[in-house]
Amino acid sequence: MEENTVMERQLPFEIKAYQEELLRRQLKYLSEHSPFYKRIFEQHGIDIKSINTIEDLSRIPTTTKNDVQTFNADFFCVSKEEIIDYCSTSGTLGKPVTFGLTDADLERLAYNEMRSFRSMGVQKGDLVQLMTTMDRRFMAGLAYFLGLRKLNAGVLRIGSGVPQMQWDSILQHEPRFLIAVPSFLLKMIEYAEQQQIDYSSSSVEGVLCIGESLRDASFNDNALARRIKEKWPIKLFSTYASTEMGAAFTECDAFMGGHLHEDLIITEVLDENEQPVADGQPGELVVTPLGIQGVPLLRFKTGDIVRRHSEPCACGRQTYRIGPVEGRKQHMIKYKGTTLFPPAMHDLLAEFPDLEHHLIEITHNSIGTDEITIYISALQPSEQVLQRVKDLFRAKLRVAPTVEWRSSQELQKIIFNPMSRKPITFVDRRNTSY
């Protein structure tokens, strides 16, 4: 794939026309090679020659995670001999979903991340420390490695965890950038303070932050980003990607959402009735990756709620940007005319360093609307803290949840469930009988 830095600076209508040309190619490819989409086109009487614009896409049914899981093999467009790398994601029905990448797909992935790194200022000759795993069939770590290689940047593959090993490598090799989960940076800071490592004058200038949001819907730093930057004033670039998309949206140094890579993916942002929402409004991200050979998807519903921003960016790129993921569609809470998602509530609770734990519970009340209950614990519970939590929710999110103290032990039992790899801080009881 040729490097494309010209197109992203063309006018938006030119970018759109270019994407539509790629879309027509993609539809032709799917109609010839994809058992799943051949069937969809046939069942719905869709003549792909009549789909010429991004707007025309609405005539094709969307693809869900369940579709990809149930008919996984039918999404493969090439024979097994052509697959170089196998990636998998956890599916909604328990069994992992498999994706196969051809040699060209790996090249496309490298190109995608090369552009991401460029937008955050990584250059040929820079050294970057990779603080995430490359194995276990995850796509991300491999993609970063391939992208840096294509950019001719150096890579230090440390993997996740172990602050001591991370610091040893930083002090010895002096990388300019890191790729890390942002909450792990707090552990790095804590370790550096214990060991009296002068982290603020280290070689690190910026971090590609994966897996967690750094900003709210208006691009203000959330509590996590602020806690890191208060101690360690480095640039934190957010990136959003998934195996299904095979493309990343990575922030430039304007920090106003991740830019589209126009030759790799088409996006739609849709409401509950699958109608497009206006730019700047929240909706579900639906993606059509371009140029994938192995397992290409068409109008795939990500379940992620985002906003698209199309006003010009300070960096000069004309491509639109995708704002932070505000939540998962199935976790949407409707509260007296307000729509909100758990991450915004977690962010707000992170403003209270005195709280040890919190648990958000959503229930349906007798009149069929959602109720929010927040259980909190602290070393010294007080009425004042409880009131401040309530006040902040009313002021910032315009909701009045029930807030109650619980003992630490009681919350820990639910939060650190041995059956779950991740802490459970959100419980949705709306679809159960109690």
Query: Considering CB under 5 A, how many residues would be counted as binding Zn ion?
Result: 5
Q: Does 385 bind Zn ion (CB under 5 A)?
A: no
Cα distance between residue 257 and residue 253, in whole Å = 10
Q: Does 54 bind Zn ion (CB under 5 A)?
A: no
- The DSSP line for 264-320 is TEEEEEE-TTSPBPPTTS-EEEEEEE-S-SSS--SSEEEEEEE-EE-SPPTTS--S-
* Residues 87 and 139 sit within 8 Å (Cβ to Cβ): yes
Q: Does 46 bind Zn ion (CB under 5 A)?
A: no
Least Cβ distance, residue 121 to Zn ion (angstroms): 12
| CA distances, 173 to each of 18, 176, 196, 336 (Å) | 42, 9, 19, 54
Least Cβ distance, residue 3 to Zn ion (angstroms): 18
Report 317-376 residues binding Zn ion (CB under 5 A): 317
Which residue, 260 or 349, has its beta carbon nearer to Zn ion?
Answer: 260
Among 252, 285, 298, 403, binds Zn ion (CB under 5 A): 252
Least Cβ distance, residue 119 to Zn ion (angstroms): 7
Burial 395-418 (b: 16+ CB within 10 A, else e): eebebebebeebeeeebbebbeee
Inter-helix orientation angle 223-231/182-194, to 10°: 30
**CA pseudo-torsion sign 254, 259, 262, 263:** positive
Q: Does 155 bind Zn ion (CB under 5 A)?
A: no
Q: Does 241 bind Zn ion (CB under 5 A)?
A: no
Q: How many CB atoms lie within 10 A of CB 152?
A: 11
Which residue, 309 or 358, has its beta carbon nearer to Zn ion?
Answer: 309
Least Cβ distance, residue 248 to Zn ion (angstroms): 14
H or E element in which residue 148 lies: helix 139-151
Q: Does 121 bind Zn ion (CB under 5 A)?
A: no
Which residue, 299 or 317, has its beta carbon nearer to Zn ion?
Answer: 317
Which residue, 301 or 309, has its beta carbon nearer to Zn ion?
Answer: 309
Which residues have C-beta within 8 Å of that of residue 425, sequence separation ≥ 6? 342, 346, 357, 358, 359, 360, 415
* Residues 65 and 92 sit within 8 Å (Cβ to Cβ): yes
Cα distance between residue 282 and residue 270, in whole Å = 8
Which residue, 236 or 415, has its beta carbon nearer to Zn ion?
Answer: 236
| CA distances, 378 to each of 225, 356, 386, 427 (Å) | 23, 5, 10, 20
Which residue, 301 or 317, has its beta carbon nearer to Zn ion?
Answer: 317
Which residue, 132 or 250, has its beta carbon nearer to Zn ion?
Answer: 250
Least Cβ distance, residue 147 to Zn ion (angstroms): 18
Report 264-323 residues binding Zn ion (CB under 5 A): 313, 315, 317
Least Cβ distance, residue 49 to Zn ion (angstroms): 36
Burial 29-48 (b: 16+ CB within 10 A, else e): bbbeebebbeebbeeeebeb
Least Cβ distance, residue 253 to Zn ion (angstroms): 8
- The DSSP line for 54-117 is TGGGGGSPPB-HHHHHHTGGGG--S-GGGEEEEEEEE-TTSSEEEEEEEHHHHHHHHHHHHHHH
Which residue, 67 or 251, has its beta carbon nearer to Zn ion?
Answer: 251
Least Cβ distance, residue 181 to Zn ion (angstroms): 23
- Mark the segment that binds Zn ion (CB under 5 A) among 11-19, 148-156, 215-223, 246-254: 246-254
Least Cβ distance, residue 276 to Zn ion (angstroms): 23
Which residue, 15 or 313, has its beta carbon nearer to Zn ion?
Answer: 313
Show the tokens assigned to 48.
Answer: 């792909």
Which residue, 38 or 118, has its beta carbon nearer to Zn ion?
Answer: 118
Which residue, 237 or 341, has its beta carbon nearer to Zn ion?
Answer: 237
Least Cβ distance, residue 317 to Zn ion (angstroms): 5
- Mark the segment that binds Zn ion (CB under 5 A) among 2-10, 253-261, 268-276, 385-393: 253-261
Among 7, 106, 134, 254, binds Zn ion (CB under 5 A): 254
Show the tokens assigned to 333.
Answer: 């809470």
Least Cβ distance, residue 76 to Zn ion (angstroms): 36
Give residues in contact with Zn ion (CB under 5 A). 252, 254, 313, 315, 317
